[in-house]
Structure 1
Amino acid sequence: MVVRLKLSSGAILLGTVLHRNFHRRESNRKTLKWNQIIVLTPSGDRRMVAMKNRRAPNNQAMAELVAYVDGGCLGNPGPSGIGVVISGLAGGPVRIAKWIGNQDNNVAEYAALMEALQYAVALKARTLHVYSDSQVVVRQMTGEYVCRSPRLYSLHWTCRKLARSLKFSISHVRRELNAEANRLAQTALRRR
Protein backbone atom coordinates (compact mmCIF):
# COMPACT_ATOMS: atom_id res chain seq x y z
CA MET A 1 0.00 0.00 0.00
CA VAL A 2 1.40 3.38 -1.01
CA VAL A 3 0.99 6.15 1.56
CA ARG A 4 1.47 9.86 1.67
CA LEU A 5 2.09 11.07 5.22
CA LYS A 6 2.50 14.60 6.46
CA LEU A 7 5.09 14.57 9.24
CA SER A 8 5.06 16.88 12.26
CA SER A 9 7.95 18.79 10.67
CA GLY A 10 5.69 19.58 7.72
CA ALA A 11 7.57 17.31 5.29
CA ILE A 12 5.63 14.90 3.10
CA LEU A 13 6.74 11.27 3.19
CA LEU A 14 5.83 9.08 0.22
CA GLY A 15 6.42 5.38 0.33
CA THR A 16 5.16 1.83 0.61
CA VAL A 17 4.02 0.40 3.95
CA LEU A 18 6.18 -2.58 4.88
CA HIS A 19 4.83 -3.24 8.35
CA ARG A 20 2.09 -1.91 10.61
CA ASN A 21 1.65 -2.54 14.33
CA PHE A 22 -1.18 -1.36 16.51
CA HIS A 23 -0.20 -0.30 20.02
CA ARG A 24 -2.33 0.42 23.03
CA ARG A 25 -1.15 1.77 26.35
CA GLU A 26 -3.40 2.45 29.28
CA SER A 27 -2.48 5.05 31.82
CA ASN A 28 -4.45 5.87 34.93
CA ARG A 29 -7.02 8.03 33.15
CA LYS A 30 -6.90 7.48 29.41
CA THR A 31 -6.06 4.92 26.80
CA LEU A 32 -3.53 5.94 24.17
CA LYS A 33 -3.75 4.24 20.79
CA TRP A 34 -1.43 4.61 17.85
CA ASN A 35 -0.20 2.86 14.75
CA GLN A 36 3.47 2.23 14.17
CA ILE A 37 4.16 2.14 10.45
CA ILE A 38 7.41 1.24 8.70
CA VAL A 39 7.56 2.94 5.32
CA LEU A 40 9.97 2.19 2.46
CA THR A 41 10.65 5.44 0.60
CA PRO A 42 11.42 5.59 -3.15
CA SER A 43 15.09 6.23 -2.32
CA GLY A 44 15.24 2.89 -0.47
CA ASP A 45 15.24 4.29 3.06
CA ARG A 46 13.14 2.68 5.76
CA ARG A 47 11.35 5.08 8.02
CA MET A 48 9.31 4.32 11.13
CA VAL A 49 6.35 6.60 11.78
CA ALA A 50 4.10 6.55 14.83
CA MET A 51 0.64 7.95 14.27
CA LYS A 52 -2.09 8.53 16.80
CA ASN A 53 -5.40 6.96 15.93
CA ARG A 54 -7.87 9.65 15.11
CA ARG A 55 -10.81 9.81 17.43
CA ALA A 56 -14.26 10.43 16.12
CA PRO A 57 -15.10 14.12 16.25
CA ASN A 58 -17.27 15.23 19.12
CA ASN A 59 -20.48 15.56 17.18
CA GLN A 60 -23.87 13.95 16.80
CA ALA A 61 -22.41 10.77 15.29
CA MET A 62 -21.42 9.69 18.79
CA ALA A 63 -24.25 11.48 20.57
CA GLU A 64 -26.19 10.09 23.48
CA LEU A 65 -29.63 11.53 22.97
CA VAL A 66 -32.60 11.91 25.31
CA ALA A 67 -36.06 12.39 23.81
CA TYR A 68 -39.37 13.35 25.36
CA VAL A 69 -42.23 12.30 23.08
CA ASP A 70 -45.97 12.86 23.15
CA GLY A 71 -48.88 12.44 20.81
CA GLY A 72 -52.31 13.93 21.22
CA CYS A 73 -55.65 14.23 19.51
CA LEU A 74 -58.87 16.24 19.81
CA GLY A 75 -61.44 13.51 20.19
CA ASN A 76 -60.44 9.89 19.86
CA PRO A 77 -59.99 9.57 16.88
CA GLY A 78 -59.66 13.15 15.76
CA PRO A 79 -57.17 15.75 14.55
CA SER A 80 -53.78 14.63 15.89
CA GLY A 81 -50.33 16.02 16.43
CA ILE A 82 -46.99 14.92 17.81
CA GLY A 83 -44.43 16.70 19.92
CA VAL A 84 -40.80 15.63 20.32
CA VAL A 85 -38.01 17.28 22.31
CA ILE A 86 -34.54 15.81 21.69
CA SER A 87 -31.64 16.92 23.88
CA GLY A 88 -27.99 15.94 23.95
CA LEU A 89 -27.07 17.70 20.71
CA ALA A 90 -24.23 20.20 20.46
CA GLY A 91 -26.50 22.97 19.18
CA GLY A 92 -29.09 22.60 21.95
CA PRO A 93 -32.42 20.78 22.04
CA VAL A 94 -34.42 20.09 18.89
CA ARG A 95 -38.18 20.59 19.07
CA ILE A 96 -40.48 18.89 16.56
CA ALA A 97 -44.22 19.56 16.23
CA LYS A 98 -46.16 17.86 13.40
CA TRP A 99 -49.79 17.50 12.48
CA ILE A 100 -50.46 13.89 11.46
CA GLY A 101 -54.09 13.99 10.33
CA ASN A 102 -57.04 12.24 11.97
CA GLN A 103 -55.73 9.47 14.21
CA ASP A 104 -56.38 8.04 17.65
CA ASN A 105 -54.21 8.75 20.69
CA ASN A 106 -52.13 5.54 20.54
CA VAL A 107 -51.28 6.03 16.87
CA ALA A 108 -50.20 9.59 17.70
CA GLU A 109 -48.00 8.33 20.57
CA TYR A 110 -46.33 5.77 18.29
CA ALA A 111 -45.87 8.41 15.56
CA ALA A 112 -44.05 10.63 18.08
CA LEU A 113 -41.80 7.75 19.12
CA MET A 114 -41.08 6.92 15.47
CA GLU A 115 -40.15 10.56 14.77
CA ALA A 116 -37.60 10.52 17.62
CA LEU A 117 -36.16 7.19 16.47
CA GLN A 118 -35.86 8.31 12.85
CA TYR A 119 -34.12 11.51 13.93
CA ALA A 120 -31.63 9.61 16.11
CA VAL A 121 -30.91 7.03 13.39
CA ALA A 122 -30.43 9.79 10.79
CA LEU A 123 -27.84 11.41 13.08
CA LYS A 124 -26.14 8.04 13.64
CA ALA A 125 -26.55 8.52 17.38
CA ARG A 126 -25.06 5.85 19.63
CA THR A 127 -27.83 5.81 22.24
CA LEU A 128 -31.35 7.11 22.61
CA HIS A 129 -33.34 7.14 25.82
CA VAL A 130 -37.00 8.02 25.35
CA TYR A 131 -39.44 9.29 27.95
CA SER A 132 -43.14 8.95 27.15
CA ASP A 133 -46.31 9.40 29.18
CA SER A 134 -48.07 6.61 27.24
CA GLN A 135 -48.09 3.39 29.26
CA VAL A 136 -49.34 1.43 26.25
CA VAL A 137 -46.40 2.45 24.04
CA VAL A 138 -43.79 2.06 26.80
CA ARG A 139 -45.03 -1.37 27.88
CA GLN A 140 -45.38 -2.64 24.32
CA MET A 141 -41.87 -1.46 23.45
CA THR A 142 -40.38 -3.07 26.58
CA GLY A 143 -42.24 -6.32 25.92
CA GLU A 144 -44.51 -6.17 28.99
CA TYR A 145 -47.57 -5.96 26.72
CA VAL A 146 -48.06 -7.77 23.44
CA CYS A 147 -49.15 -5.54 20.57
CA ARG A 148 -52.27 -7.18 19.13
CA SER A 149 -53.95 -4.14 17.60
CA PRO A 150 -53.88 -4.27 13.78
CA ARG A 151 -53.72 -0.47 13.54
CA LEU A 152 -50.73 -0.30 15.93
CA TYR A 153 -48.83 -3.41 14.86
CA SER A 154 -47.06 -1.89 11.83
CA LEU A 155 -46.07 1.20 13.85
CA HIS A 156 -44.83 -0.99 16.70
CA TRP A 157 -42.84 -3.20 14.31
CA THR A 158 -41.26 -0.17 12.60
CA CYS A 159 -40.28 1.37 15.94
CA ARG A 160 -38.76 -1.93 17.12
CA LYS A 161 -36.77 -2.19 13.88
CA LEU A 162 -35.45 1.38 14.22
CA ALA A 163 -34.64 0.80 17.90
CA ARG A 164 -32.39 -2.15 17.02
CA SER A 165 -30.02 0.12 15.10
CA LEU A 166 -28.89 1.91 18.28
CA LYS A 167 -28.74 1.43 22.03
CA PHE A 168 -32.35 2.16 22.91
CA SER A 169 -34.28 2.44 26.14
CA ILE A 170 -37.72 3.79 26.97
CA SER A 171 -39.27 4.82 30.28
CA HIS A 172 -42.66 5.97 31.43
CA VAL A 173 -42.84 9.48 32.84
CA ARG A 174 -45.73 11.36 34.44
CA ARG A 175 -47.55 13.79 32.19
CA GLU A 176 -46.37 16.88 34.09
CA LEU A 177 -42.74 15.88 33.44
CA ASN A 178 -43.51 15.64 29.72
CA ALA A 179 -45.05 19.12 29.51
CA GLU A 180 -42.91 20.54 26.70
CA ALA A 181 -43.54 17.62 24.33
CA ASN A 182 -47.24 17.77 25.22
CA ARG A 183 -47.33 21.51 24.46
CA LEU A 184 -45.71 20.87 21.05
CA ALA A 185 -48.24 18.11 20.27
CA GLN A 186 -51.17 20.36 21.24
CA THR A 187 -49.77 23.18 19.09
CA ALA A 188 -49.36 20.81 16.13
CA LEU A 189 -52.86 19.33 16.27
CA ARG A 190 -54.43 22.80 16.30
CA ARG A 191 -52.25 23.94 13.39
CA ARG A 192 -53.73 21.66 10.67
Structure 2
Amino acid sequence: MATPIHSKLINKAAREVLKPAGLVRKGQSRIWLDDNKWWLTMIEFQPSSWSKGTYLNVGISWLWYPKDYLSFDIGYRESSFVEFKDEETFLKEVIELAKKAKDKALNHRHSMSSPELAKEFVLKNTIDDKQNIWACLHKGMACLCASDISNARTHLENVMQCKENRDWANSVKGFAQLLLNLKPDEQLFAMQDAIMKSRKLIKLPEIEGLFSNRA
Protein backbone atom coordinates (compact mmCIF):
# COMPACT_ATOMS: atom_id res chain seq x y z
CA MET A 1 0.00 0.00 0.00
CA ALA A 2 1.36 3.40 -0.99
CA THR A 3 2.23 5.80 1.81
CA PRO A 4 -0.35 8.64 2.02
CA ILE A 5 0.98 12.06 1.05
CA HIS A 6 0.35 13.55 4.50
CA SER A 7 2.43 10.77 6.08
CA LYS A 8 5.23 11.45 3.58
CA LEU A 9 5.19 15.11 4.54
CA ILE A 10 5.37 14.26 8.25
CA ASN A 11 8.34 11.99 7.59
CA LYS A 12 10.02 14.69 5.50
CA ALA A 13 9.59 17.33 8.21
CA ALA A 14 10.86 14.98 10.91
CA ARG A 15 13.92 13.98 8.88
CA GLU A 16 14.82 17.60 8.16
CA VAL A 17 14.38 18.81 11.74
CA LEU A 18 14.92 15.87 14.08
CA LYS A 19 17.56 13.75 12.37
CA PRO A 20 20.28 16.47 12.40
CA ALA A 21 19.72 16.81 16.18
CA GLY A 22 20.55 13.12 16.67
CA LEU A 23 17.04 11.70 16.93
CA VAL A 24 16.23 8.40 15.27
CA ARG A 25 13.02 7.17 13.70
CA LYS A 26 11.61 3.96 15.18
CA GLY A 27 11.29 1.66 12.21
CA GLN A 28 8.71 2.95 9.74
CA SER A 29 6.51 4.43 12.45
CA ARG A 30 5.67 8.04 13.23
CA ILE A 31 7.74 7.82 16.41
CA TRP A 32 11.17 9.43 16.81
CA LEU A 33 13.47 8.76 19.76
CA ASP A 34 16.18 10.77 21.48
CA ASP A 35 18.23 8.03 23.12
CA ASN A 36 19.84 9.10 26.39
CA LYS A 37 20.92 5.61 27.48
CA TRP A 38 18.69 5.17 30.53
CA TRP A 39 15.80 7.30 29.30
CA LEU A 40 14.26 8.35 26.00
CA THR A 41 12.51 11.43 24.77
CA MET A 42 9.73 10.00 22.63
CA ILE A 43 8.19 12.09 19.87
CA GLU A 44 5.01 10.79 18.28
CA PHE A 45 3.20 12.27 15.31
CA GLN A 46 -0.03 10.58 16.30
CA PRO A 47 -2.63 9.91 13.58
CA SER A 48 -6.38 10.27 13.91
CA SER A 49 -8.87 7.53 13.15
CA TRP A 50 -11.13 10.04 11.45
CA SER A 51 -9.03 12.63 9.60
CA LYS A 52 -5.76 12.98 7.73
CA GLY A 53 -3.21 14.84 9.81
CA THR A 54 -1.43 14.55 13.13
CA TYR A 55 -1.26 15.33 16.80
CA LEU A 56 2.13 15.92 18.44
CA ASN A 57 2.99 13.98 21.58
CA VAL A 58 6.32 14.46 23.37
CA GLY A 59 7.36 12.78 26.58
CA ILE A 60 9.98 10.90 28.54
CA SER A 61 10.10 7.12 28.77
CA TRP A 62 12.21 5.74 31.64
CA LEU A 63 14.09 2.50 31.02
CA TRP A 64 15.06 1.62 34.61
CA TYR A 65 12.20 -0.86 35.02
CA PRO A 66 12.38 -3.89 32.68
CA LYS A 67 9.71 -3.49 29.99
CA ASP A 68 9.14 -4.25 26.32
CA TYR A 69 7.18 -1.11 25.46
CA LEU A 70 7.55 2.67 25.29
CA SER A 71 5.55 4.85 27.65
CA PHE A 72 4.88 8.52 28.21
CA ASP A 73 6.03 8.67 31.84
CA ILE A 74 6.38 12.47 31.87
CA GLY A 75 4.70 14.62 29.23
CA TYR A 76 2.33 13.76 26.39
CA ARG A 77 0.10 15.94 24.19
CA GLU A 78 1.84 19.04 22.84
CA SER A 79 -0.56 20.21 20.14
CA SER A 80 -4.11 20.03 18.96
CA PHE A 81 -4.83 18.12 15.77
CA VAL A 82 -3.25 19.54 12.62
CA GLU A 83 -5.41 18.54 9.67
CA PHE A 84 -4.09 17.97 6.16
CA LYS A 85 -5.75 20.36 3.70
CA ASP A 86 -3.05 21.04 1.14
CA GLU A 87 0.58 19.99 0.82
CA GLU A 88 2.25 23.37 1.19
CA THR A 89 0.34 24.45 4.27
CA PHE A 90 0.57 21.07 5.97
CA LEU A 91 4.34 20.80 5.43
CA LYS A 92 4.87 24.21 7.04
CA GLU A 93 2.68 23.21 9.98
CA VAL A 94 4.39 19.88 10.63
CA ILE A 95 7.84 21.49 10.33
CA GLU A 96 6.77 23.80 13.17
CA LEU A 97 5.58 20.79 15.15
CA ALA A 98 8.93 19.06 14.56
CA LYS A 99 10.80 22.17 15.70
CA LYS A 100 8.71 22.28 18.86
CA ALA A 101 9.46 18.60 19.48
CA LYS A 102 13.18 19.13 18.91
CA ASP A 103 13.23 22.01 21.39
CA LYS A 104 11.56 19.80 23.99
CA ALA A 105 14.07 17.00 23.38
CA LEU A 106 17.05 19.36 23.65
CA ASN A 107 15.62 20.87 26.82
CA HIS A 108 15.26 17.39 28.32
CA ARG A 109 18.89 16.65 27.46
CA HIS A 110 19.98 19.80 29.27
CA SER A 111 17.67 19.29 32.25
CA MET A 112 18.90 15.73 32.79
CA SER A 113 22.53 15.92 31.72
CA SER A 114 23.63 14.26 34.97
CA PRO A 115 22.05 11.84 37.48
CA GLU A 116 21.78 14.65 40.05
CA LEU A 117 19.92 16.95 37.65
CA ALA A 118 17.74 14.04 36.56
CA LYS A 119 16.73 13.41 40.16
CA GLU A 120 15.72 17.05 40.57
CA PHE A 121 13.76 16.90 37.31
CA VAL A 122 11.91 13.71 38.24
CA LEU A 123 11.00 14.88 41.73
CA LYS A 124 9.74 18.19 40.35
CA ASN A 125 7.75 16.78 37.44
CA THR A 126 6.32 13.55 38.87
CA ILE A 127 2.94 13.53 40.60
CA ASP A 128 3.10 13.63 44.41
CA ASP A 129 0.85 10.67 45.19
CA LYS A 130 2.01 7.82 47.42
CA GLN A 131 -0.70 5.59 45.94
CA ASN A 132 0.60 6.08 42.41
CA ILE A 133 2.89 3.09 42.08
CA TRP A 134 4.69 4.40 38.99
CA ALA A 135 5.32 7.80 40.55
CA CYS A 136 6.81 6.17 43.63
CA LEU A 137 8.97 3.84 41.54
CA HIS A 138 10.30 6.58 39.26
CA LYS A 139 11.15 8.82 42.20
CA GLY A 140 12.94 5.95 43.89
CA MET A 141 14.91 5.04 40.78
CA ALA A 142 15.87 8.67 40.12
CA CYS A 143 17.20 8.97 43.66
CA LEU A 144 19.05 5.69 43.31
CA CYS A 145 20.52 6.86 40.03
CA ALA A 146 21.91 9.91 41.86
CA SER A 147 23.20 7.72 44.74
CA ASP A 148 20.67 9.28 47.12
CA ILE A 149 20.21 5.95 48.88
CA SER A 150 18.11 7.17 51.81
CA ASN A 151 15.43 8.85 49.71
CA ALA A 152 15.54 6.03 47.18
CA ARG A 153 14.63 3.61 49.96
CA THR A 154 11.77 5.85 51.13
CA HIS A 155 10.20 5.99 47.66
CA LEU A 156 10.71 2.27 47.03
CA GLU A 157 9.06 1.49 50.36
CA ASN A 158 6.15 3.66 49.20
CA VAL A 159 5.88 1.37 46.16
CA MET A 160 5.35 -1.55 48.52
CA GLN A 161 2.58 0.35 50.36
CA CYS A 162 0.52 1.05 47.23
CA LYS A 163 -2.89 -0.62 47.33
CA GLU A 164 -2.88 -1.61 43.66
CA ASN A 165 -2.52 -5.40 43.50
CA ARG A 166 -3.12 -6.41 39.89
CA ASP A 167 -0.47 -8.62 38.29
CA TRP A 168 1.45 -5.75 36.70
CA ALA A 169 1.54 -3.89 40.03
CA ASN A 170 2.75 -6.97 41.86
CA SER A 171 5.57 -7.22 39.33
CA VAL A 172 6.56 -3.62 40.06
CA LYS A 173 6.43 -4.35 43.79
CA GLY A 174 8.58 -7.43 43.29
CA PHE A 175 11.17 -5.33 41.48
CA ALA A 176 11.11 -2.71 44.27
CA GLN A 177 11.45 -5.39 46.93
CA LEU A 178 14.40 -6.89 45.09
CA LEU A 179 16.17 -3.53 45.23
CA LEU A 180 15.30 -3.00 48.89
CA ASN A 181 16.90 -6.34 49.73
CA LEU A 182 20.21 -5.34 48.13
CA LYS A 183 23.15 -3.36 49.42
CA PRO A 184 23.59 0.14 47.88
CA ASP A 185 26.34 -0.90 45.45
CA GLU A 186 24.30 -3.94 44.43
CA GLN A 187 21.24 -1.75 43.84
CA LEU A 188 23.08 0.28 41.21
CA PHE A 189 24.13 -2.87 39.36
CA ALA A 190 20.55 -4.16 39.51
CA MET A 191 19.27 -0.90 38.04
CA GLN A 192 21.86 -1.04 35.27
CA ASP A 193 20.77 -4.59 34.51
CA ALA A 194 17.13 -3.48 34.34
CA ILE A 195 18.04 -0.70 31.91
CA MET A 196 19.98 -3.09 29.70
CA LYS A 197 17.01 -5.50 29.69
CA SER A 198 14.63 -2.71 28.69
CA ARG A 199 16.93 -1.59 25.89
CA LYS A 200 17.15 -5.15 24.57
CA LEU A 201 13.39 -5.72 24.79
CA ILE A 202 12.66 -2.43 23.00
CA LYS A 203 15.39 -3.27 20.47
CA LEU A 204 17.63 -0.30 21.20
CA PRO A 205 21.37 -0.43 20.46
CA GLU A 206 23.75 -1.85 23.04
CA ILE A 207 25.62 0.84 24.99
CA GLU A 208 28.34 1.38 27.55
CA GLY A 209 28.80 3.98 30.29
CA LEU A 210 25.18 4.31 31.32
CA PHE A 211 25.58 7.23 33.69
CA SER A 212 28.28 9.24 32.00
CA ASN A 213 27.30 12.77 30.98
CA ARG A 214 26.12 13.21 27.45
CA ALA A 215 28.62 14.91 25.16
Same fold (TM over 0.5): no
Greater Rg over alpha carbons, structure: 1
TM-score w.r.t. length of structure 2: 0.23
TM-score w.r.t. length of structure 1: 0.25
Higher helix share: 2
Higher strand share: 1
